[in-house]
Chains A and B, each alone.
Chain A
Amino acid sequence: MERIKINHLPGQTWNRLGMNDIEIEKYSFEKNLEGKIREEKEELPGQGIAYCDKDKQGGLQRGTESSFDREEKSDCGSALGDAFVELLEETHMAQVVSLVAEAGEQKTYRMEFGKTEGAACGKFDLLAKQNCEMTVFQYFDDRTAAEQTKDARSGIRNRIRAEKGAYIKLVQVFLGGEREEILNDIGAVLEENAELEVDQIFLGGKKTVSGVLAQLRGRKSSFTSNIAYDIGQDERLDLNLIAKHIGKKTEAQMDVKGVLREGAHKLLRATVDFIPGCSGSVGKENEEVLLMDEEVVNQTVPLILCGEEDVEGAHGASIGRINEEYLFYLKSRGIPEKQIYEMLANARIETVLGKIDDGETRERVMAALVEG
């Protein structure tokens, strides 16, 4: 089978390090992801996402037509890259769920997806008009996957436009199962004073490739990314975060916290890209990794591309096992070492849950953690 490379590092490094991108099999998506969507607490008419044409209700438009025009669609960009976009575009039946928040509105949507056989895709266009607030929760729970879904693959793409003064919060929770592969792509364009917050939790998952490209075009636009993961048993997580500072005084903060166990492999590419003219911009990335096992592979490429002088870029990392002082403090309260590691592993997820600040999301994630 033909193979393609996706999730590229914006500035390439030595190929022999194997960190520039990730190679996957090229395949076709056969169907749309099966799931449900709710606006606020009310479930929308019809069971699940019907993907029916020209159905517009409560700011939700479902069908083959996006609320974005052709130019706007390509404008959002992709963190996973052209090869992935082409893969989705080749799937003629792939339909789009468009969520729109009109100017000044406050909208909250919840989507949940369970088992889907074969290769399925989901395309979502999120449009937040001027000064509106839009919150979108996407839950991908693969733990219930049936035996026959072992070779199942998912391709997910969110295209986001935040107009002047708009705020978009996208929360994604991936509860891994036997699924072969999850490809998750987010591309966003932000206008003046617009804010984008992307919070993601990855618990398990055989192979997950995920990326966020935030294009901070408008003056004082900002991007925040909070990611927590806990992977083990030879699972693989490939992350690519790109904050592209184009407008003046733009801000980006990317925080990634995670736990690696039992032969897990994680690669994080985190790029702050200062484009000429983005003076006064600040871009920061920070990573905390807890290694629970000596067999894990933990790779990180922090990258700051600097085309502008008057900017502030920073990256920091804390990687390894828990230091003795910390361990002693917790042990002195009667907590054994194994329990401490578990507690601190959950604390990383808890930190991001705190930022998401949503009861339903917390319940889902905590239930998954309890089930282990």
Chain B
Amino acid sequence: MSEFLKIIDLTARAEEKELLHQVSLEIQEGETHVLLGPNGAGKSTLGYTIMGSPEYEVTGGKIYFQGDDITEEGADKRAKRGIFLSFQNPIEIPGITVSNFLRTALEQLTGERIKLFDFKKRLKNVMDTLQMDQSYADRDLNVGFSGGEKKKAEILQLLMLNPRLAILDETDSGLDVDAVKTVSKGIEEFQKKQGGSLLIITHNAKILEALKVDKTHVLVDGRIVAEGGPELVEDVGQNGFEKYLDKESY
């Protein structure tokens, strides 16, 4: 397998506070990784930093994607390379419908004009998979959506934009049991049919049930303190993070 995402000694801060300390992590193409950690550990910060959020300043280390150094690149360029971040709190975009937004984004990502008929057909199929009412396509993106609807809209974007690497930042939080199932189905579709790589930030093992997890990382105080296979998810689920709290970097 070729080197896909490689993070070496990444240190990042926001407003003078260092939030990530020499984090190193490697994901191979097609792999699914899970990132666990207590609240405030820096999990979202890592996801946002990989995506290139200007909120976080990288003060050390490097991020490589498919062999290229992307540490200084803007978010739009990273997205064009195939990186996708599913937001924990998606932004409302008044005046731009879900359909128009997705078509614009697809055209930007592919650099090609998308035929309306083909696009609508594909959008309908994906919405059916996610059990989303077709009327959502004509609604302004995330405006007036419930928490669950916003998360579904994020997975809709994931499946439509078809990235190479998807970072899911607590996509399952705030969802009821049925919604977790639907979202899980979408993620499974991305993993199995589209062959995408995943970095899943979660507190909920339910969303991982149908997925083949390759590796698990535990992040505490901005440091990776433990790594392992899928059994680590179960261990944390049963025993919590207590034994990791005072551990040095892995």
Interface residues of A (CB under 8 A from B): 324-326, 328-337, 339, 343-344, 346-351, 354
Inter-chain contact B95/A334, CB cutoff 8 Å? no
Name which residue of chain A comes closest to B79, CB basis: A334
Q: What is the CA–CA distance of A348 and B96 in the complex, to the nearest angstrom?
A: 9
Looking at the complex, which one of A326, A332, A349, A351 makes contact with B75 (CB distance below 8 Å)? A332
Inter-chain contact B109/A328, CB cutoff 8 Å? no
Looking at the complex, which one of B53, B78, B105 makes contact with A335 (CB distance below 8 Å)? B105
Inter-chain contact B95/A351, CB cutoff 8 Å? yes
0/1 per residue, B84-116, Cβ < 8 Å to A? 110100110111100001001100110000000
Name which residue of chain B comes closest to A337, CB basis: B76
| Chain A facing B: main interface SS | helix
Looking at the complex, which one of B54, B87, B90, B109 makes contact with A334 (CB distance below 8 Å)? B109
- With A326-B91, A347-B94, A348-B95 as known contacts, state yes or no: A333 contacts B51, CB within 8 Å: no
- Whether B80 is near chain A, meaning CB under 8 Å from some CB there, is yes
Inter-chain contact B109/A350, CB cutoff 8 Å? no
Inter-chain contact B79/A333, CB cutoff 8 Å? yes
- With A324-B54, A333-B157 as known contacts, state yes or no: A347 contacts B96, CB within 8 Å: yes
Across-interface contacts of B76 in A (CB, < 8 A): 331-332, 334-337
Tell me how far the C-beta of A320 lies from the nearest C-beta in chain B, rounded to whole angstroms: 16
- With A333-B105, A334-B109, A335-B104 as known contacts, state yes or no: A347 contacts B79, CB within 8 Å: no
Inter-chain contact B85/A332, CB cutoff 8 Å? yes
Name which residue of chain B comes closest to A325, CB basis: B91
Inter-chain contact A333/B91, CB cutoff 8 Å? no
Across-interface contacts of B51 in A (CB, < 8 A): 328, 332
- Whether B231 is near chain A, meaning CB under 8 Å from some CB there, is no
Tell me how far the C-beta of A47 lies from the nearest C-beta in chain B, rounded to whole angstroms: 36
Across-interface contacts of A331 in B (CB, < 8 A): 52, 74-76, 79
Name which residue of chain B comes closest to A345, CB basis: B95
Tell me how far the C-beta of B183 lies from the nearest C-beta in chain A, rounded to whole angstroms: 19
Inter-chain contact B108/A336, CB cutoff 8 Å? yes
